[in-house]
Structure 1
């Protein structure tokens, strides 16, 4: 029994989680897909250009945005109407297997400080199927001098 335990301990360093087992090339492809989607959707507000990056379904976790691909189309219509000049600048992008995480500076109206956003996308077969986000207003004054970006 002791030799089995020692043998199992010996192989533990070689066990890899499914997320970290992803090929670097597929992670790069996932990043590229999300970056192109984000520009088409959030900056150009072009649903047709963005829609090609969706998988067969789209699960939305933001409680203020409607679910599904049609819900995302509705959200883009809202942006186009209410904030036609809004821009999102991606500051950082990370990939971990089928997940792509963006750190974004979003400005809906020119001359405002905007918002810091962390977007998390899950992809299946290189297509976006799920989204979460966390949004924080950029304050006028911060308790430190580190900045949000």
Structure 2
């Protein structure tokens, strides 16, 4: 896919979209569905219930964390859940959309840190290997009370 004129997207960034190795590979629909279920179960156990033991079963032995505010590795995820239990014990995330392609699952999430707070819009990207989550990226944005466009972020 060629980059759009005037965009910052490079040809190197677009090569091999959809697979972690850069080589195109067909993933059966059953595997895509299984990957979605794994990520959804992980998200509920970890981010909603804040239950590290329950969430741990969905992580690979190696877990690469790209969020600059969270520690790397499986233990880093455990520390993140400790932070949530202490600072946002009533936080809840609703999955608005879920997509899967290749080894990746992408979530569009509506998170409410504390009851009554405006939600945060989050996009989480997970990479799986052999049915386990091994890598994570995310971006988040506080939702405004009113948008210029009049459209919801969800």
Q: For the superposition of Structure 1 and Structure 2, which TM-score range results when normalised by the shorter chain?
A: 0.7 to 0.9
Residue 17 (structure 1) shift: 2.0
1:115 matched residue in structure 2: 120
Where in structure 1 do 4 or more consecutive aligned residues deviate above 3 Å?
Answer: none
Query: In the TM superposition, what is the alpha-carbon distance from 1:24 to its structure 2 partner?
Result: 0.6
Task: Confirm or deny that 1:144 pairs with 2:149.
Answer: yes
Any gaps of 5 or more consecutive residues in structure 1? 1-15
Q: Report SS of the residue matched to 1:78.
A: helix
* Residue equivalent to 1:48: 53
Count the aligned residue pairs: 132
Indicate the SS of the match to 1:128.
strand
Q: Structure 2 CA distance, aligned partners of 1:71 and 1:56?
A: 12
Q: Give the corresponding residue for 1:5.
A: none
Tell me which residue corresponds to 2:8: none
Aligned match of 1:24 in 5, 21, 29? Answer: 29
Provide the residue aligned with 1:125 in structure 2.
Answer: 130
Any unmatched runs of 5+ in structure 2? 1-22
Deviation digits for residues 102-143 of structure 1, max 9, x if unmatched?
000001111011200000000000100000001000012211
1: distance between equivalents of 2:105 and 2:127?
A: 7
Decide which of 69, 74, 82 is 2:79's aligned counterpart. 74
1:82-93 alignment runs, 5 A limit: 82-93=87-98
Q: Which has a greater percent of helix? A: 1
- Cα deviation, 1:54-73, whole Å, max 9, x if unaligned, reads 11100000001110000000
* Alignment partners' CA distance in 1, 2:97 and 2:88: 23
